[in-house]
Every structure is written in C-alpha cells, then in structure tokens.
Structure 1
Amino acid sequence: MHKTIGIVAHVDAGKTTFSEQLLFHTNSIRQRGRVDHQDTFLDSHEIEKNRGITVFADQGAFTFNDSNYTLIDTPGHVDFSPEMERAVQVMDAAIVIISAADGVEGHTETVWHLLKKHQVPTFFFLNKTDREGVDLQDVVNEIRSSLSDDIFDLFELENGVMSESLVEFIAERDEGLLEHYMDAGYDEAMWLGALKHMIRKRSVFAYGHGSALKDIGVLDFLEKLDLLTETNFVDEGEFEARVYKVRHDENGNRVTFLKVLQGSLYVRDEVQYAGKLEKVTQIRRYNGSKFQTVEAAFAGEIVAVTGLSEAAAGDPLGALVEKAEFGLIPTLKSKVIFDPSVHVKEVLRCFKMLDAEDPSLRVVWDEHVQEVHVHVMGVIQLEVLKQIVRDRFHFDVSFGNPKILYKETIRSTVNGYGHFEPLKHYAEVHLKIEPAARNSGITFDNVCHANDLSVGNQNLVRTHIFERSHHGLLTGSALTDVKITLLTGRGHNEHTSGGDFREATFRALRQGLEKAENVLLEPVYDFKIKVGMNHIGRVLSDIQQASGSFEPPETIGENPVVTGRVPVATFMDYSTVFASFTNGKGALTLQFGGYDECHNPEEVIAAIGYNKDADPEYTSTSIFCAKGKGYPVPWYEAEAAMHLL
C-alpha cells in the first residue's frame, strides 16, 4: 500500500526534526540530523541549512509494516506557503505539528484551512511537551476552540482496542454507530473500520503528543497513524496523475514530480497533458536529494519524470481532466535589479526556470519599461530568491521595494465593441461586460448565433479572453470579477486571418471599460488577534487607523479575541509592531482574504500614474477600412461605426 503523508506547521514548531525521527525509526536514514546543526536529511539545500528554515517541499521515503510511505516536509514560513499548498494537493494524510509551548499560531490556521479545502485527513502531533510550563490540556482546548472540537487522543487506542471514552466519542458523531453500540455493544474490527472511515472523511481528527527532539512519542504516533490510514489506489485502468512540483537538476534538465492516481506509467510511455503528447524519458524515485531510476511507477506513488517540457504544478496528466486550483497567491510585486553586465535575456531565462518551479512568482517582462518583475509573498522570500540566483546562476540581483498588487473591476454592466479591419484583415466582436461576485475572477458566456459567427471563431474569442490578464483603466492593474459574454461578431471568408479576432476582442473589451465605472481593488487580510486585556484597546485603535474593520471582541479563556478584515497595504508590517508591544505573547493570524474595494483609490491612482491612452499593449480604438486604407476610430465613436448594429 502506498501512502503519501505531509508534515505541515507554523515555522519553528519542529516539523523537520519530527520528519528526521520518522525516517530514522524506519531505517531510511542512519542518523538523525538537527536543524541547528545544519545536517538534516530533508533540509538539504544550502539556503535551508544557513537559514534554519524549510524553503522547499522535499520528500523522503520509508517502509513501515506493509506500507510504502512518501514523506513530504513542507515550509512553515508564510512567505513559502504556496510551495506548501502545492504539496498539500497530493497528500493522503497530513500531520500538523503544533508546538505545545506556543499553541495554535497564525500559520497553523492557514494550514488547517488548506487541508480542509483539499479534504486531506489530518492528524496532530503536539510537540515540545517536555518544555517547562507546558499544559497539554490547554493546547488541546485551544485546538478545540480554534480548529475543531472533533479531536481525540491517540493514546486512547492500544493495539487496535479503543477505550470506552473513545467509543463514546465516535458514537456521538454517528447515529448508526450509536444505535449499533446500544444493541450489540463493542466489536473491535467493526469499530476500528468505522474510525478509519471517519478519519478519512475528516469527521474526526486524532492527536498524539511528545517531543520530536528528545524522541518521545514519535514511534508510537507512527504506529497508530499507520493503523488508522489506508489508501485504495488501483493499478488497473487508464493512467491518471497530477503534477505537484517542477525542479531542474544540476544539468538543467526539467524534472516533473507527479503523483500517480490510477493505472501505471512506464519509461518511454507517451503522456498527454494540455493538448500535448510527450514521451517520458526517465522515471526517478527520490529520497531526499538522491534518486534511483526505475522502469515503472504505479498508482499511489510519487515519482519524478523527465521528458515533459511544459507540465506545471497542478496540471492533470493522462485521463485526469481537472486542474488543481491554488488559493494562496502573492499580494506583492517587486522589480528585479541586476548589473548591466548580465544580459537581460540571461536574467529572464534564469527567472523563467524559477517561475516553472514556483508558479506563484509569475515572472513578467514589462516591455514598456524594460523591467523584470516578480510576485512574492514577503521580504523573506526576496532574500531567499537573491541567494538562490547567486548559488544557482552565479550572478547577483537585488529587488526594488515590494509594491502592492492591485486589481480592477467595474460597477455596472456595459457593452463593448471592437472592429479590426486594416487592408486584407477583418474581425468584429461585441461583448457584454458585467460586474461579478468579488474574487470570482473572469468568467465567460456565449450567446452568439452560429449564423453570425462560426463556432471556430467564437471559440477564438473565448481563447483570447483567457490567454492573458487584461489591464484596467485606472492603474493598469489586472481586470477581475467580471462576466464577459460574447453577444455577436463577424468574420470574412477571404480577409479574416490569424490574430484578427485577438485584436477585435481586446479592443471590444477595452472600449467597454472606457464606458464603465471602474473600481480599484486591493488585497485584504482576514485577521484574528488574541491579546491580553491590557492590550485590546491598542489593537482596536491600530485596526481602525489601518482602515480595517472588526467584529465585537469575544473572550476565549482569559483573553479577548478580535476578528476582522484589513488592507494588506496598511497591515503587512504589523506583525513586527504587534510582537514588540505584546512582548511576543499575543497571537496574530493573517490570512489572505481576497480583494476588496481600495480604501484610498485616489492616492493609489495618483502614485501609479498609469496613462490608459499610452498603454502599448492595449487600445480602445477600432480600425475600419475605406478606399483601400485602414483608419482609426476612437472608442467614443466606434459603436456608431460597427457593421453589426
């Protein structure tokens, strides 16, 4: 049986140390490393050793009882949370490490919500219980109030036999089981099967406790996790897999890590994805930084392959159709600064490799200002990127101050018209553009009749809508939260050629935006703050000054807890301030809460200084033809000139 388990946690909770113990106890490694000694098996990258944090989701392999395990140790720092989310999608179960000395911390809640989103069965290990002053019951109560009330102690299960209180715990959560218990009493095999099912369905969550550093409770935890988890992958049927990460080896070869979900994969098999068909040239099984080549991979396994030139994290392979959606997206953008002696093409080539490995970077070459931009979660990520470029590509870069990534939408429905007819070209497109639900992105509908525009050309319009992000008019930021409907269009049998509908579509979209009431959006945090009573007044005042909003504070235990929303722009550096005045004793959780209307649009628009009429990539002007020559028609006259009105 193949099982993939992930280790996730807030930074410094003890993930990597816990992982080392699992690998040691299962004879996968000969000696246990320590983060502070810079000799751990999984934090093998120089940058991880130097910083003492996990940056990359690396994997180990071990066998325990009758199961083959892949263990993924994920980053705990919020700046590298997209890397963690990409790993979550291929986990069969997750172990959330919580430092009993610190309790449920900010990033723990982010991790918890991600596991819920991807429906990953979850176990908790309460680490560092050997620390002086730790009250285990306090931590359990905090998990119950912050994460889930449906948790039970693994130590209530011994040799497959449940304690009476565990039986009651399960029965309370399943009416059928309760009736069975009342009628027939306890049957070991049936109740163990029911518990496994409830864990798999995330109805209940188990916790163990101990000390990873001192090797207390780790092996016992593994034995019970092994007992309570099972997978049912099948080697028969069509090949299905999902890409979970991309790396480049020391020779620059692109290596695609994937999880086989069904069927099998052999070297030299052709794999279909995103309309491409490519041959797998090598299959590798990684354990830490080392690998062995194999001839085949089977359902449930995580392997790495060479030969796939463009497959990206989240992509479905083979018969699998659905692409994985990632919710953790950067809210900051920074300019890459490099020495003129390094050619910009070389800089772009290297950053495109990094972009393949971390798609959230969204590396952009801005032709207009001749600059390379990257999208990031925070300043620690920029520091790490700087070192990665130096270590891997042997040149130095620095970064401009991170800037907020704004977006734009519209307030009311408009129709947009675009016409593109220079000599020997022809395309006309009519679009309806409507405001849509916040954080819904761009959606497309089509009510165009095939008598007006061929289905092939209708599909072209749809393709062009989604082939790139579109600029809003206020700041040139990405357009979002709109529904675009193709109303009608026209082509020409003889003169319509490649690219004509792209031009007409973009002009129609832009012409519609010219008539709309445009709205600037900014990223916001959903926050949760727990402080002592003596600090709550300061916190509420800070939130108001930051243009945030909050619900009336609640008291949990002895401390007030306040939740609400606040702009990233005004709160991105607040954690440092907060830690200072609470002496590190408060708890601040910041989760990306999507986009909302900007709190200071005039100020932002003025600071960015975008000129909508000078955007080289977009124009709202249509092109018509008369007397053998094309001529421009500005957006405010274009509608009257359209051929289909």
Structure 2
Amino acid sequence: MRTNLERQLAAVRNLGILAHVDAGKTTVTERILYATGTTHKRGEVHDGTTVTDFDPQERDRGITIFSAAVSCDWDGHRLNLIDTPGHVDFADEVERALRVLDGAVAVFDAVAGVEPQSESVWRQADRHGVPRIAFVNKLDRAGADLDAAVASIRERLHPTPLVVQLPIGAEESFTGVVDLVQLRALVWADGEDTAVSGEVPAGLLAEALRRRRLLEEAVAERHPAALEEFCERETVSAPTLVAALRDMTRGGDGVVVLCGSAYRNRGIEPLLDAVVAYLPSPLDVPAVRGAAVAGGRQPGREAPEGGAVMRDVLSVELAPSAGALTVDADLTETRPADPSAPFSALVFKVAVTPTGRLTYLRIYSGTVEKGDVVWDAVAGRAERVGRILRVQADRHVQVERAVAGDIVAVVGVKSARTGATLCAPDAPLVLEPPGVAEPVVSVAVEACRGTQTGRLASALARLAEEDPSLAVRTDPETGQTVLSGMGELHLEVAVEKIRSALGVDVNIGRPRVTYRETVGRGVSGVVYRHVKQDGGAGQFAQVVLEVEPYEGEFVFRSAVVGGRVPQEYVRAVEAGCRDALAEGPLGGHRVTGLRVTLTDGATHVKDSSEQAFRTAGRFGLREALRACAMLLLEPVAEVTVTVPEAVVGAVLGELAARRGRVTGSEVRSGSAVVTASVPLAELFGYAGRLRGRTQGRGTFTARPTGYAVAPASVVAGGVQDRRCVTAVGR
C-alpha cells in the first residue's frame, strides 16, 4: 500500500512543451491553463496576452524566448509545466528544462510536420531519456494532414508512432476526434469550451475500427500483456491498451500521437488525459544519481573556501565542452524521490528580477522548508532559503515547504549558478548539470557614455548569470568587451535587454562567428627544451611531442618508457598542452581535432618541476603546431528555406552566392522547402534579403551543425582579422 506522500508524488507530472517555432506550443500551454481553470481568459500570442510569454520582447516578437514554469491541476493531478522556446538560438533554454523534466509533449504543425527545430528538440529529449507524447496541432489549417505529419515523425525522428485519435472533419470543418482507445467521438461545438462525448459517426466507424485494429497490432507486437490478450481474444481491451501504452511511452518503445487545434480549443482535454495516463510521475523515473562528496560539510563546521567541496569529489571532472560531470561509477550515489530522504535539488534557471534573485529548483529528494540552510555543493558554501515560491510564469504563490518531485523557485540563495546542486549540509551530493553549448556568434559592445561603463559591466554580468549560453570576455588586443551567443537573434535579445530592462545605452559591432583551427597533417619528433636560470633554483624540462589529426576535440597520451618523465610531470605536460590550445598559429583561434603524444623527455635532478614541464608542454605544442599543416574551420548551419514555388530559382541562386550547398528540396502544400548547408558567417542579413526576394512570403530556419574546412579566401581573412578571435568560446 502506498503512503499518503507516495500517492501525492504519483499524482505529479513534470513536463515540458517542445516544438519548432510557430508550431503552436505556447497556444497549447495557454489552452491547458484555461482548461484546468488556472486562468479565466484564453491568452493569445498575437494579442500579447499570454501567461508564459510575459517578457516584453516575447510579446513584441510573438515568440517564446525564455522558458517559463507554471503549475495547474487536472483530474486530481498536479502538472508542473515548462513552456520552452522553439527558436534554435535558444536551444540551451530547452536543454536546461529537459534536464529536470520527467516527460514532454512534442507539438507538431499538421501542415509542416517535423520541422528542423522539432528534430533538434526531439534529439535533445532522446539524450536525456525523457518520455514523450506527440500532439499534431493546427488541424483546422488548409492543407492539414494527420497521416502526413505522422509519416514525417516516423521517417525523420524514427520512433514508433501510436496514433490514438482520428480527426472528425478536415481543415476548416475540423470539429473533433474519434478516441480509438475507447471508441467514442469527442466533438467541440463552436464557442464551447468542453467536448461532447458520443457515438462514432456512422461515416467514420469503418475507418475507426480499421485504425483501432492497426493500433492493437502495433501495441501487441511490442507489449507482452497486450500480445497475450490479443492472441486469446483477437482484440485488446481498452484497460489493457491504456496500460500497454503507458508502459511503452515510459520505456521509450513508442510515442502516443494525439491531434487537435489548440487555437480553437479542440483536443486539449484529451491531451491532458493522455499526460496523466501515459507520462511518468517522479516515482516512475529512476532515482537520481550524483557524485558522492568525500569529506562534505558537517553541521557546525565552517564553510570551506569556494570550490573546496568540488575538489573533494574524487574522480569527478567538469568536461570543458559540454559542462557535464563525468563520474566514476564506484563513487556515485542515488537518491530516491522520497520526501524523507536527504535533500537534493538541481538549479536549472536563475532570474534576477527587480524584487530579488529567483533560483529555480527541481527537487529530486527530501524536503526543504522556509528558513532552511542548504549546501551549494559546487560553490562549497551554505545558503539560507528565505522564501519558497510556486511559480506561475511571472507570478508567484508563496508556500511553506517543497518536497521531492516539486519544481519551485526560492529567494535568498545568493550565489548558486545554473547547474549547481543544493543539498542537505550533512549529506552532500553533486548532480550532473545541464550541458552548455559553445557560443558561435559574437559582437563587441560598449557603453555610449563613459559614465555608464560600470553599469554595462554589471548588466553583462547579470545576463551571463541568467543565461549560461552567453559569454562575456575582453579582447586582449583591442580591449573591447565582447558578448558571444548562439546566433544573431540571441544577441539581439540580449542587447535589447541591456538597453530596455537594464537602462544602459550601448553601441554594438557587427556580428562575427567563431572560427577554429585543426591539424590537417601532423608532425613527430618535435623537441622543446625549457631552461631558465635567474639565480636560485632554476627551471629545466625537455619534451618530445608528436601531433596528429584526431576526430574528437583533443586527446593526450604518453608513450614515455623507462620513467624518463615521471607521471606527475606527464600530467603537467598535458596541462601545458591544453593551455596551448587557446590560440592556434593561423589566426589565434582555438585549436581542436588533434592528438598529442609525449614520446620522450628529460629531467634535471634539481631544476625540474611541474611548472617547468607545464611551460615546456605549452610552448612545445605551439612550436609543433607551427610545423603542422593547419586548417581553418568555420561554423556551418543547416538552413531550411520555405518559399513559394515561383521564386525557388532566385532562392537557390542566393544560397549559392552565400557558399551554400543544397542538400534537398520538396514541395509541401504549394510551397517549396529547400534544405542547404551554409557557412554561418554568410547568413548575416539573410532574413531581410529573403523577405525582399519573396515579397515577404519566404521564411527560413538555421540550425548549427558543426564546423567545416574554410576555403582559402576565408583563411586569408581569418588570419588578417584578429578580431574574430573574440568569438572563441570561454
């Protein structure tokens, strides 16, 4: 028998709404809030009256920029909902949300099907193992086709789609759905908020029975209990079907597909029922796993200096590329979703508001109450929780305590950053933080008036605190302050926030992209001797290095035999080589894609030290790179352009002029969809150019896909223009 607390946890659903931009994700969220009685008026994106898109920039632009959390109740269950951005520039917001969610609803446009960012967020959910159900939206649009949308889900995302509804009517005459599980019709009359349940229309009964049979067969193929019943009775009952769909969804063996029109409020109640029936509760997901902290803070002990706890996490390193913890499995610890277990929570968002600093938490275990002292296991310091807030987008309801499974915001935690772990002081734990993508576009920023320089520095620090995918640095050559982000729109939003919300007038330089350097042809036998004598103990270190191309980012190995270089000095050589990666010989860009082997070396009895070998590693690798055949890499993006068929030729010519390589094209509902790989640097200003070429009817999306070797003309420009080094990641 479950305890009362377990029953409460079983009634919680932590889910996100994922979609490509303009698929109707925010409208779905607004209709959910309206259907659950959380709001009493339907918010509209085009009117700027939505609950979750509350930021002035979101309302002006008509898109979601920042993830927003809301809570609502449905059928005795509490739904903690996060509405996520759909634009690729804000994919890091989605990443942080997915890290703390137990399930998700993926929204697809019934006309467009799977779009580029739909695919990206789906892959992100795959990486985090988040179960999903799919909602095919906008069935009332001209050209809407549920079967075509489902086919695109199957072909591009490769799940097993389990369609549980059949539309009643098409396009403008779409009025409801047939529930294939219960074999009933749900019809929404014009102006009505709730569906009327009834018999399946006679004209759709045969098709409904056929599709129900296909659903039964698909489920029986993959679920033992459904297969057993199907073999015995040649059918699967509704309760068995629901249980099988629940197991398949939570196990990742299938994706339940529903349909509707959120704008016309059709299909939302069945979607909520599906969330409750199929998506997992905190009790249904595996216990959270983290790195056990050796020698953590005990009650009554003084807090160590910042970072001391992280130094005590044995065999735990912060991966520089993804920001994720790589943990030795022997030192990990699990925490169940139990309110009586030691407290542990992950910080997934920080917002600095005029009324204070809000720290958003997903609580994985234990209980936290107002006034409690918690331990920041990453910073290594104690924090006091002043208030606990149940979040309703930009509005909050104060509560006295929060338990495992909750998503809340707390006030009073002053220094915890995104990705930090808050835990019980006497039971420290470090949870894996969400990954942080590397910035690819940069602009120089400066205050218009010298008197505002200090305010600009504070504003940039606040931006970087709220959004880890923004990086701020100073160009060592020009002295300029450089802001780096995930794309033009990302930087536009950040600069506008500096101007409007933070009250600083700024000038910005033209955007520049992040270049990289890599090894095209390696070298071996590069000898570097570091000798320094200036009185007293000297410095001596000799290293022999071999450099070769590598498919990953960087790997270091030692082939030294006979103990000619002690192990502690080998580690110092590796650290020096990593230091040398910051600036390559072509244009000072970061170096990636190489393997360095320490093949030999020499030491001095008195003058050798770790510092000497680190210096030798740094300068030795720089010398080796100058001897290598180096290649300049530029970031490229997959661009999907949707235009009227009549102007396809002009669009192809424009893409070719921007060094684009067309990879595919198709026709959808009278529009041509062209996919191409284009250097990111060539996309600046493309939006305006496309609108001009298509009389405002063309749209495009761009998704960064990695780096490619740049042509000679770009290499020459990259070498001459040292300012592009400011775009290099942190």
Map of 1:319 onto structure 2: 429
Structure 2 residue identity aligned to 1:58? A
Q: Distance in 1 between matches of 2:254 and 2:549?
A: 37
Residue 510 in structure 1 maps to residue 622 in structure 2: yes
Deviation of 1:174 (Å)? 5.3
Map of 1:621 onto structure 2: none
Residue 242 in structure 1 maps to residue 323 in structure 2: no
Residue 481 in structure 1 maps to residue 593 in structure 2: yes
**Residue pair 2:638, 2:703 contacting (<8 A) in 1 also:** yes
Q: Of residues 120, 126, 149 in structure 2, which corresponds to 1:110?
A: 120
Structure 2 residue identity aligned to 1:287? Q
Residue 430 in structure 1 maps to residue 543 in structure 2: yes
Q: Distance in 1 between matches of 2:366 and 2:613?
A: 41
Q: Distance in 1 between matches of 2:352 and 2:435?
A: 23
Map of 2:504 onto structure 1: 395
**Residue pair 2:541, 2:608 contacting (<8 A) in 1 also:** no
Map of 2:396 onto structure 1: 291
Question: Per-residue CA shift, 1:361-417, capped at 9, x if unaligned?
Answer: 111112331111111333333332222112332211132110121111112344574
Change in Cα spacing, 1:580 to 1:182, as seen in structure 2 (3 Å) is farther
CA RMSD across the alignment? 3.9
Change in Cα spacing, 1:314 to 1:564, as seen in structure 2 (3 Å) is farther
**Residue pair 2:515, 2:590 contacting (<8 A) in 1 also:** yes
Change in Cα spacing, 1:539 to 1:418, as seen in structure 2 (3 Å) is farther
Residue 373 in structure 1 maps to residue 482 in structure 2: yes
Deviation of 1:347 (Å)? 2.2
Map of 1:627 onto structure 2: none
Map of 1:629 onto structure 2: none
Q: Of residues 592, 600, 605 in structure 1, which corresponds to 2:718?
A: 605
Q: Of residues 342, 354, 360 in structure 1, which corresponds to 2:463?
A: 354
5 Å matches for 1:25-40? 25-40=35-50
Q: Distance in 2 between matches of 1:586 and 1:168?
A: 42
5 Å matches for 1:91-102? 91-102=101-112
Structure 2 residue identity aligned to 1:365? T
Q: Distance in 1 between matches of 2:599 and 2:378?
A: 28
Deviation of 1:258 (Å)? 2.8
Question: Per-residue CA shift, 1:410-439, capped at 9, x if unaligned?
Answer: 12344574637363563637374644544x
Q: Distance in 2 between matches of 1:20 and 1:393?
A: 29
Q: Distance in 2 between matches of 1:257 and 1:119?
A: 21
Question: Per-residue CA shift, 1:574-624, capped at 9, x if unaligned?
Answer: 455556556677775532111111124433235415899xx9xxxxxxxxx
Structure 2 residue identity aligned to 1:472? G
Residue 386 in structure 1 maps to residue 499 in structure 2: no
Residue 170 in structure 1 maps to residue 279 in structure 2: no
Question: Per-residue CA shift, 1:23-53, capped at 9, x if unaligned?
Answer: 2222323433222332322222222233332
> Matched residue of 2:450: which SS?
coil
> Matched residue of 2:451: which SS?
coil
Map of 1:3 onto structure 2: 13
**Residue pair 1:425, 1:500 contacting (<8 A) in 2 also:** no
Map of 2:176 onto structure 1: none
Map of 1:335 onto structure 2: 444
Structure 1 residue identity aligned to 2:164? L
**Identical amino acids, percent of aligned pairs:** 28
Map of 2:92 onto structure 1: 82
Of the structure 1 ranges 223-232 and 258-267, higher mean CA displacement relative to structure 2 is found in 258-267
Structure 2 residue identity aligned to 1:29? T
> Matched residue of 2:43: which SS?
coil
**Residue pair 2:225, 2:240 contacting (<8 A) in 1 also:** no
Q: Distance in 1 between matches of 2:553 and 2:456?
A: 31
Structure 2 residue identity aligned to 1:167? E
Q: Distance in 2 between matches of 1:108 and 1:208?
A: 16
Residue 421 in structure 1 maps to residue 529 in structure 2: no
Map of 1:217 onto structure 2: 267
Change in Cα spacing, 1:122 to 1:372, as seen in structure 2 (3 Å) is same
Q: Distance in 1 between matches of 2:429 and 2:251?
A: 25
- Structure 1: gaps (5+ residues): 616-645
Q: Distance in 2 between matches of 1:468 and 1:193?
A: 57
> Matched residue of 2:63: which SS?
coil
Residue 203 in structure 1 maps to residue 313 in structure 2: no
Of the structure 1 ranges 164-173 and 530-539, higher mean CA displacement relative to structure 2 is found in 530-539
Q: Distance in 1 between matches of 2:596 and 2:412?
A: 37
Number of aligned pairs? 610
**Residue pair 1:257, 1:302 contacting (<8 A) in 2 also:** yes
Of the structure 1 ranges 151-160 and 36-45, higher mean CA displacement relative to structure 2 is found in 151-160
Map of 2:140 onto structure 1: 130
**Residue pair 1:427, 1:489 contacting (<8 A) in 2 also:** no
**Residue pair 1:105, 1:589 contacting (<8 A) in 2 also:** no
Structure 1 residue identity aligned to 2:87? H
Question: Per-residue CA shift, 1:237-262, capped at 9, x if unaligned?
Answer: 55544332222232554x43232334
Q: Distance in 1 between matches of 2:667 and 2:59?
A: 41
Residue 274 in structure 1 maps to residue 368 in structure 2: no
> Matched residue of 1:475: which SS?
coil
**Residue pair 2:181, 2:242 contacting (<8 A) in 1 also:** no
Q: Distance in 2 between matches of 1:192 and 1:74?
A: 28
Map of 1:22 onto structure 2: 32
Change in Cα spacing, 1:99 to 1:552, as seen in structure 2 (3 Å) is closer
Q: Distance in 1 between matches of 2:547 and 2:400?
A: 52
Deviation of 1:20 (Å)? 1.7
Change in Cα spacing, 1:278 to 1:455, as seen in structure 2 (3 Å) is farther
Q: Distance in 1 between matches of 2:619 and 2:565?
A: 18
> Matched residue of 2:50: which SS?
coil
Of the structure 1 ranges 585-594 and 8-17, higher mean CA displacement relative to structure 2 is found in 585-594
Question: Per-residue CA shift, 1:70-116, capped at 9, x if unaligned?
Answer: 11111223332322232222222222223335544333233233223
Structure 2 residue identity aligned to 1:195? L
Q: Distance in 2 between matches of 1:460 and 1:147?
A: 45
Map of 1:637 onto structure 2: none
Of the structure 1 ranges 37-46 and 537-546, higher mean CA displacement relative to structure 2 is found in 537-546
Structure 1 residue identity aligned to 2:717? V
Map of 2:514 onto structure 1: 405
Question: Per-residue CA shift, 1:508-546, capped at 9, x if unaligned?
Answer: 332222222221101112345677776666555555444
| TM-score (normalised: structure 1) | 0.81
Map of 2:201 onto structure 1: none
